[in-house]
Each structure stands twice: as structure tokens, then as C-alpha cells.
Amino acid sequence: MDFFQNLNFSSSNEDGETELAALAGAGRILCLTGSGTRPLDLLMSDAEEIVALDVNPAQNALLALKVAAIESFERDEFLAFLGVSPSATRGTAYDRLRHCLSPAVRGYWDRRRALVEAGVWYAGKWEKLLRWNARFLRLFRGRALDALLAAPDVEEQAGLWGQKFGDNRLRAVIKLIGRDWIWRWVVREPGGAFLPPPRDVARRLASDFMRASRSFLFRDSDFAILIFRGAHQADGALPVHLRPENYQRIRERLSRLRIVEGGLADLGELDVGAIDGFSLSDFGSYCGTDLYSSCWKGVLDAAAPGAKFCERIFMNDMELPFAEIEEDRSLSKALSETDKAIIYRIRVGTITGKA
């Protein structure tokens, strides 16, 4: 199946705190849907509307399912429905909420009832890969991992990371992550086409994890937990919208979310109105320079004067293509240092006009 039809992201591999800080004050935010975590996290901002956009209808169907489930369930039931905590009754929970879904979304999930019953939180391609990664780590580094996640402070954590996870065998495995054939034939991810050479991928990941190990406790990062344990816990690190102190407010604000199908490059024709905050995730991971430029052109077409943006960059470093996009370098640096999703550089700034 085509990558942009498949369910690729289902839980969370970013850090919504960063987008909330970068886009504070925006009134209408456009956000790539992905797993749905980012648009739901952004409901904690004071924006009156969050437009969740994705070219992939499967990602939008997932967000619509999560919205219906948050409307229907208290937090504990929602976590059980997702699959974060155990449940034997997800099928009956789905029967309670499926009438709230549009016919297209209901059809999508009716055809995938087994995924709903297993819990959609780990149904994405990336979540499945991360679960395999965590099984592998448990097998070969189980005790070291327990010590790492129990470290009392970042100094001890960084020491443990250097001693137990910085060796050549693990580096060789990390280097595999950069191999084109792994992305093409094993992961089947189009982003592989835009990666730097394997040695650079390995070097960059090693340095990102080393830096992160000195900056924050891995056990406080929901993405680190997914990488190391392959699963979240209801009382552990979780994305912003799932935290107990935020859930009720998210629930009250669901009507601020609007889900739109389409690509960034088509934003000028999508009738989304003037947007003053853009949460763009790492769309550049899927772009050559021409498409990257077209996507930014779409963003500029929809941008209100002075709109803010927050972009994530994984491995595909590209120059901003228009002079009307002004980076705030010091804020980019500060947010890159505090972001708990480890593997991204954050680029933020302002859009000053049309291209």
C-alpha cells in the first residue's frame, strides 16, 4: 500500500511543549495531523481554531476517532480504549462511539475493527518498528536500560549512556538505520530517499542521544519511553493532551479542531482562511528541494502577515526557500535544546509576506 494511504504514525514522536511555546499567541493554527497528538496538544494553546491537515486520509481518520473517543470517555477509559492501559472491551467501547463518526471515517474503522480492539495507539508503522526496537534493546541491553531510566539525575544518566550505549556494536546497528535499503525494503518509508549517508545518520543520532542524555531525564520524555520501552504507561511520561491535568480542558475545546485533507503545497486552494501559526512537523523529510519550495509557497499563500511557524528537521537539512520566511535563530536554538523528542532540530520564525 502507498505510504501516504497507510497508518504510519499513531501515538507520538514529537514534543508538543515546543510547538505550544513557539506558537503562543496565535489565533488560528494550521498543524499537520500525523498521529493526531500535535493538533490535540495544541488545544492547550489559546487559539480559537486548530486546522489539522494531512495528505494521508488514514492519519485524519485516526484523529477523528480519537476526537470521538475523547468526547465519549473520561481519561481512564480513553487510555484503555487507545491501548495505553489494558482493556478487554474496546470493541464495545467502539460500538458506543461509532455513530459520532462521519460515514467515511466509520467505514475506515469498521474495516479495521481488529486494530481498534487491539488499541490504535501502537497501530502505526513507526510504533510497530519502535516496539521491535525496544524488544531488541531489552534483549541485549535490558539491565542497562533499567538503570538508564532509573538514573537519579542527568549527570548519572549521561555517564550511563556513554558507558553502556556508546559502544561499537550498538553504533553498527545505529548505522544500519541510515542504510537506504532498510528504508526502501524493510521500513518502506519514502523519507529514506532524502537521508544523508549512513555514517552521517549514525553520527548525528549518536550525538543527539548524547546531548539529550545530558539535558533531561529520558523517563520524562514520552518519545524516549517509546524508543526504549516500546510502550507508554498511564502514570508515566505522556504527550500533553493525555496528561491528567490537561485532559478536561482538551475535552472542552474539541470543537476548535477542524480536520482537512490535502497537501501543504495546495494550501492556497484549500479555503483554510488566514492562518497565523503553522506547526509543520518534519514535512521536509519527504521532500526534494522543489517540493519543499512548493510546500512553503502553500504556507505563504495561507499565512496572515506576521504568522509564526514551527518546523521540525530530522535529517534533511534544507535552506528556507523564500526571503519572506524569517528564522528566529536564538529561539530555534533554545527550543532545539529543550525539545524532548531528541532527534529533531527546531526551526521557528515569522512569515513576513507572500512569495
Ligand X SMILES: C[S@@+](CC[C@H](N)C(=O)[O-])C[C@H]1O[C@@H](n2cnc3c(N)ncnc32)[C@H](O)[C@@H]1O
Binding site for ligand X (CB under 6 A): 4, 9, 13-14, 32-35, 38, 53-56, 59, 263-264, 281-283, 286, 295
- Find the shortest distance in angstroms from Cβ 294 to ligand X: 8
Q: Phi-psi region for residue 239, left (φ > 0), alpha (ψ -120 to 50) or beta?
A: beta
Residue number with the smallest Cβ distance to ligand X: 34
In this structure, how many other beta carbons lie within 10 angstroms of the beta carbon of residue 47? 22
- Find the shortest distance in angstroms from Cβ 307 to ligand X: 17
Nearer to ligand X, 141 or 345 (CB): 345
- What number of residues does the chain have? 355
Nearer to ligand X, 33 or 87 (CB): 33
- Find the shortest distance in angstroms from Cβ 74 to ligand X: 25
The half-sphere exposure of 95 on its side-chain side, counting CA atoms within 13 A, is: 3
Nearer to ligand X, 27 or 263 (CB): 263
- Find the shortest distance in angstroms from Cβ 112 to ligand X: 17
Nearer to ligand X, 38 or 175 (CB): 38
- Find the shortest distance in angstroms from Cβ 104 to ligand X: 17
Nearer to ligand X, 32 or 123 (CB): 32
Placement of cell 528537521 in the chain: 313
- Find the shortest distance in angstroms from Cβ 14 to ligand X: 5
End-to-end CA separation in angstroms for the chain: 35
Contact in structure between 249 and 44 (CB atoms under 8 Å): yes
Nearer to ligand X, 53 or 201 (CB): 53
Calculate the alpha carbon distances from 212 to 8, 21, 81, 203, 215 in Å.
25, 19, 32, 14, 5
Nearer to ligand X, 54 or 276 (CB): 54
- Cα-Cα-Cα-Cα torsion 231, 236, 242, 248, nearest 10 degrees, comes to 150
Nearer to ligand X, 112 or 164 (CB): 112
- Find the shortest distance in angstroms from Cβ 33 to ligand X: 6
Q: Provide the angle, in degrees to the nearest 10, between the axes of the packed helices 198-215 and 168-177.
A: 120
Cell of 35: 498521529
Beta-bridge mates of residue 51: 30, 258
- Find the shortest distance in angstroms from Cβ 297 to ligand X: 11
DSSP 185: I
- Find the shortest distance in angstroms from Cβ 342 to ligand X: 12
Of residues 313, 264, 322, the one with CA closest to residue 284 = 313
The whole-angstrom separation of Cα 8 and Cα 56 is 9
Nearer to ligand X, 78 or 194 (CB): 194
Amino acid type, 30: L
